């Protein structure tokens, strides 16, 4: 399959001036797949009403069929076709955070979306992206688009056009180039099928941010795994480069061992540069321990580069102190490292 490329960066403010929009729309309407940029990561989009399109998504990604997809919309009225009436509490949160990096799991009204989108559940995750190109595309296409991350299943999620091209060229109909994703991590997924709500997948919209809008609305305990996942990223290995990686806790002093560090990478804040072994590869994750936004933005790009740009055998990645702001990145890093943790004083 030839994968078509559309570079829409110069049309960001007004996609209607781009002549190829009808081609993109036609591919979606015919059940084809196109990777589109969002503010979180690039998504592999297909018509959420079309069983063949959804089957193609699972096939292109090598994705387990019980892993549900997130449906992307551009306006609230689209929800009327496949969800029940929204409560005032859910509307309050949607008005506060949409468009933006949060997905809401809602009761599914069957008959409009194809069955495979929900992974066999009676609920559906829905999101309204804020990326200027992605959002305009959804408006111009005007159909609900199912869009998991545009990468091979289990691999680091794509935050640039190059990441998508590396994984999916020749496997999908097209890729829209829209620069690097701003957030860098997948959306927060909030399960609204029960109350208090629960965060099924952490993201940049945190528990404290949600409760600033709707006090005491989020239960503290969140599921880490389940036999029947209600959101992407809950059950299977995710975000992993081919290069072995370990979480590095308590990294405060330079390792004292005489190990040959020349094939080892340290992915740590710039503030920790001086304690990285001299022969090791230093890869800056962010400015310092408080620069969580920078770490979120950079993480997946670094994980992709581990396999493509660096001649290393294994890597250590910095462990942040766990709090409301670091829950999302620690969730992704622990999955990328397959829960492997080492302490700095043991190196």
212 annotated as a binding-site residue: no
Q: Dig out the tokens for 27 from the structure.
A: 């591919």
187 annotated as a binding-site residue: yes
CB 123 within 8 A of CB 107: yes
Q: Give 120: exposed, middle or buried? Use CB within 10 Å, 0-12, 13-18, 19+.
A: exposed
160 annotated as a binding-site residue: no
Q: What is the DSSP string of 191-239?
A: E-SSSSBEEEE--SS-HHHHHHHSTT-B-S---S--SS-SSTTSSS--S
67 annotated as a binding-site residue: yes
CA distance 304 to 309: 8
171 annotated as a binding-site residue: no
319 annotated as a binding-site residue: no
147 annotated as a binding-site residue: yes
CB 15 within 8 A of CB 137: yes
Give me the phi and psi of 196, to 5 degrees please.
-60, 155
DSSP 8-class letter at 39: S
16 annotated as a binding-site residue: no
331 annotated as a binding-site residue: no
301 annotated as a binding-site residue: no
53 annotated as a binding-site residue: no
Give me the phi and psi of 241, to 5 degrees please.
-75, 170
* Angle (deg, nearest 10), helices 292-308 and 161-168: 40
Binding-site positions for L-threonine: 40, 72, 127, 147, 187
Binding-site positions: 40, 63, 67, 72, 127, 147, 149, 157, 187, 201, 239
Binding-site positions for ATP: 63, 67, 149, 157, 201, 239
């Amino acid at each position: 399959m030839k994968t078509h490329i559309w570079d829409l960066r110069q049309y960001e403010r007004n996609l209607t001036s781009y002549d190829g929009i009808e081609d993109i729309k036609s591919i979606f309407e015919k059940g084809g797949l196109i990777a589109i940029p969002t503010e979180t990561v690039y998504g592999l989009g297909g018509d959420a009403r079309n069983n063949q399109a959804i089957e193609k998504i699972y096939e292109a990604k090598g994705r387990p069929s019980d892993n549900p997809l997130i449906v992307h919309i551009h306006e609230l009225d689209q929800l009327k076709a496949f969800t029940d009436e929204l409560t005032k509490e859910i509307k309050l949160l949607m008005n506060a955070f949409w468009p933006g990096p949060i997905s809401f799991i809602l009761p599914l009204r069957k008959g409009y979306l194809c069955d495979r989108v929900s992974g066999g559940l009676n609920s559906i995750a829905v999101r309204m992206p804020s990326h200027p190109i992605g959002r305009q595309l959804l408006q111009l296409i005007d159909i609900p688009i199912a869009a998991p991350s545009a990468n091979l299943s289990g691999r680091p999620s794509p935050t640039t056009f190059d990441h998508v091209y590396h994984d999916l060229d020749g496997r999908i109909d097209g890729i829209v180039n829209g620069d690097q994703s701003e957030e860098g991590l997948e959306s927060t997924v909030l399960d609204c099928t029960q109350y208090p709500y629960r965060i099924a997948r952490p993201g940049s919209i945190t528990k404290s941010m949600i409760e600033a809008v709707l006090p005491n609305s989020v239960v503290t305990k969140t599921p880490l795994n389940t036999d029947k996942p209600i959101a992407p990223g809950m059950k299977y290995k995710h975000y992993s480069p081919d290069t072995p990686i370990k979480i590095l806790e308590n990294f405060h002093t330079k390792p004292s061992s005489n190990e040959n560090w020349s094939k080892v990478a340290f992915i740590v804040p710039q503030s920790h540069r001086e304690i990285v072994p001299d022969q090791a590869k230093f890869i800056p994750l962010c400015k310092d321990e408080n620069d969580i936004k920078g770490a979120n933005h950079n993480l997946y790009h670094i994980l992709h580069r581990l396999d493509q740009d660096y001649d290393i055998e294994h890597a250590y990645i910095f462990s942040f102190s766990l709090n409301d702001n670091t829950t999302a990145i620690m969730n992704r890093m622990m999955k990328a490292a397959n829960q492997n943790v080492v302490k700095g004083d043991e190196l």
